[in-house]
Amino acid sequence: MSALAPYLEGYAAYPKPRPWLQALQQQALQRAEARGFPQARDEAWKYTSLATLEQRGFKPASSTVTLDAITLAPLLVTGLDCPRAVFVNGRYAAALSRLPQGVRVVAARDADESLGALLTVPPEWQDDTFLNLNTALFQDALLVEVSGELTEPLEFLHVSAPEAAAASHHPRCTVKLGPNARATLIERYAGLEGAKHFTNSVVQIELASGAKLTHLRLQEESLQGFHLGRVLVSQAADSTYESHNLQHGAAWARLDLAVALKATGAAAELNGLYAVGGRRHLDNHTRVDHLAPHTASRELYRGILDGQGRAVFNGKVVVAPHAAKTDASQANHNLLLSRGAEIDTKPELEIYADDVKCSHGATIGQLDEQQLFYLRSRGLDAETARSLLIGAFAERLLTLLPSLALAAHARRRLGAAVSRINLPEPA
Amino acid sequence: MLEIKNLHARVDGKDILKGLSLEVKAGEVCAIMGPNGSGKSTLAHILAGREGYEVTSGSVSFEGKDLLALAPEERAREGVFLAFQYPVEVPGVNNVYLLKAAFNAIRKQRGEEELDAMDFLALVKAKMQFMEMDPAFLNRAVNEGFSGGEKKRNEILQMLVLEPKLALLDETDSGLDIDALKVVAKGVNKLRDPKRAIVMVTHYQRLLDHVVPDKVHVLAGGRVVKSGGKELALELEKRGYDWLKDAAA
């Protein structure tokens, strides 16, 4: 049976959208079928096996699960009171949401053709199987179009709730910022305990000249869940994209974050923090394309690994032939807390231009024995000293978060992830 | 207070301490001097509980307890404090946090209540002023980016806050200019107390001009080869260590 069979079956049972979207979805499915799932021999998937995902099937189904505000409450970020678009198992939950102006949710089944432009995929992603599955299978899409300034952050919250059969959900979001527009997007994936789903999300971001988007992405799926994310960013002249990507959840997760700096003055800052334990697996693939002169990117990713946790970091930076005066830096630091943990880190620089400034570095280390001894010699017990040093390692990124409420939330999540880091094998 | 009997220890298979015996009484300020490689710093590290030292025989008792059986943090809570020769930088952990955690861990051991944040801050600020330190240091990461002198001052500040029963100073005078040395000495003198013992491990007389010891012990070849009063340090300053090395051999 093809890995795609459950998805095709699921699609067949979906309500039919209007013809224009049906045509787009058919095309996406054909492309997915032609390409299939990535294979282990595919370099980009060498360290992240899709075997379990394939084996589980995860047939998409229109979920009937609804949440009330009381069930949702513990999943919310304390102190973060902002407009919010809540999706439960891929479906929009209007009763739990409050949308600001310029933000709307469109259901696939009755979307008109104006949605088409917002679903257009960059050519280099047109053959990406998971993106194509998302295009065919998303139910409700969040559309954010900002011409001035979103004064408050907007939270795009996807909640996975347990269902009778473990299904896949395909959240979709497009963000378009007009010239000089400003916005903060908080993209968050939370899971209720016991949700054994597969989230396959796609977020497309387009920044016009001078626009600035601050994008916080928190992957906090249930520890039995599977998560695959795509964030595709396209930047015009003098636009700024600031990303904070925190991955702590899911039994198996991968994020592909691709940023195209298409015109002079475009700048991207990519910050990432991941923590993994048990026998869980987290993968961060980032790619920055410098396609114009005088573009800049800075990237800092840190990872904490315990138990038999495994993480992958792959950071690719491509400098196109005419992109002179590119300024790109990348660093990835990993803290290994156990012998069984494993990190595969790979910076990839492809530079086709002269007169550029590019640097990269990756480190893998353990807790510093001298620091541990120093703290213990002051009366702190070994466990406290350890968590203090782990926290300090993470703090470098947490202090960069633009929201204190979110930083506090992330700190608690991380605390939980670290103390619970020796988790049993996902069921 | 501290009784070391016939201590033998090795590092990486190399014997460093070879039958060291020493007694330090409450209220005493003593200096442990000796040439490089005599085992001074090894002794300080073993007393604080650093890993990597193998004690092959002998005993160390602190207020009647077997010190060597205690973990480093237990020693600290019992009242042993080591001012490091090379204070460790701990990026991401701020000074006031460490001070407070250490202070409360020690109070808890003594069966005392934790001090509330405001009272603690007032206490620390007063001690910082005494050590002529900028209060801004409190919110900086522990020792990160500090100059050599600032690190040493920070060690003494911790000591003043934690009020140990036994203060061990490992080459605290090294790398200090004269002004910093005076401030550090002022801090150490402040701690002189009939209930407290202070042990200064040092190569030179310099610090002893400012913190006058009651006793001076000379280490050579991993043993105490001579003990005396403060005048012994002056004699060492004049004559060097060679005449004692011969005595050790």
- Tell me the chain A residues in contact with residue B89 when contact means C-beta distances shorter than 8 Å: 371
Residue A45 clears pLDDT 70, i.e. is over it:
yes
Q: Say whether residue A392 is in contact with chain B using an 8 A CB cutoff.
A: yes
Judge whether A134 and A200 are in contact, CB under 8 Å.
Answer: yes
The residues that bridge with A288 in the sheet, in sequence order, are A259, A317
Mean of per-residue pLDDT scores for chain B: 91
Please give the residue that has the higher pLDDT: either B159 or B249.
Answer: B159
Residue A426 clears pLDDT 60, i.e. is over it:
no
Interface TM-score (ipTM) > 0.90: yes
Instruction: Summarize pLDDT for B14-65 with one digit per residue, the tens.
Output: 999 999 999 999 999 999 998 888 888 899 999 999 988 999 999 999 999 9
- Tell me the chain B residues in contact with residue A381 when contact means C-beta distances shorter than 8 Å: 71, 73, 105
- Tell me the chain B residues in contact with residue A388 when contact means C-beta distances shorter than 8 Å: 93, 97, 101
What percent of chain B lies above the pLDDT cut of 70?
Answer: 98
Give this prediction's pTM: 0.88
Please give the residue that has the higher pLDDT: either A209 or A393.
Answer: A209
Taking the CA atoms of chain B, what radius of gyration do you get in angstroms?
A: 18
Least confident of A310-314, A384-388, B182-186: A384-388
Contacts of B126 (CB under 8 A, 6+ apart): none
Least confident of A53-67, A75-89, B187-201: A53-67
Instruction: Summarize pLDDT for A92-141 with one digit per residue, the tens.
Output: 999 999 999 989 999 998 899 988 888 989 999 999 999 999 999 999 99
Q: The tokens of B111 are what?
A: 């069966």
Q: What is the mean pLDDT of residues B81-96?
A: 93
- Tell me the chain B residues in contact with residue A374 when contact means C-beta distances shorter than 8 Å: 84, 87-88, 90, 142
pLDDT band at A424 (very low <50, low <70, confident <90, very high): very low
Q: Assign 3-state DSSP to chain B and report helix, strand, coil percentages, each to 5.
A: 40, 30, 30
Judge whether A191 and A222 are in contact, CB under 8 Å.
Answer: yes
Nearest CB to A393 within list B75, B76, B92: B92
- CA nearest A395 in B: which residue? B92
B105/A380 touch (CB, cutoff 8 Å), yes or no: yes
Please give the residue that has the higher pLDDT: either A1 or A312.
Answer: A312
Give the model's pLDDT for residue A333.
97
The position carrying tokens 């005078």 is: B173
HEC string of A39-77? CCCCHHHCCCCCHHHHHHCCCCCCCCCCCCHHHHHHHCC
Instruction: Summarize pLDDT for A218-250 with one digit per residue, the tens.
Output: 999 998 999 999 999 999 999 999 999 999 999
What percent of chain A lies above the pLDDT cut of 90?
Answer: 80
Sort strands A91-92 and A84-88 into parallel, antiparallel or unpaired. Answer: antiparallel
Nearest CB to A392 within list B51, B88, B90: B90
How far apart are the CA of A362 and the nearest CA of chain B, in angstroms?
Answer: 18
Nearest CB to A382 within list B73, B82, B141: B73
How far apart are the CA of B154 and the nearest CA of chain A, in angstroms?
Answer: 13
Q: Tally A–B CB contacts below 8 A.
A: 80
Q: The tokens of B168 are what?
A: 């061990």
Rounded distance, CA A208 to CA B208, Å? 69
- CA nearest A375 in B: which residue? B98
Instruction: Summarize pLDDT for A156-214 with one digit per residue, the tens.
Output: 999 999 988 889 999 999 999 999 999 999 999 999 988 889 999 999 999 999 999 99
Q: Say whether residue A365 is in contact with chain B using an 8 A CB cutoff.
A: no
Give the model's pLDDT for residue A427.
28
What percent of chain A lies above the pLDDT cut of 70?
Answer: 97
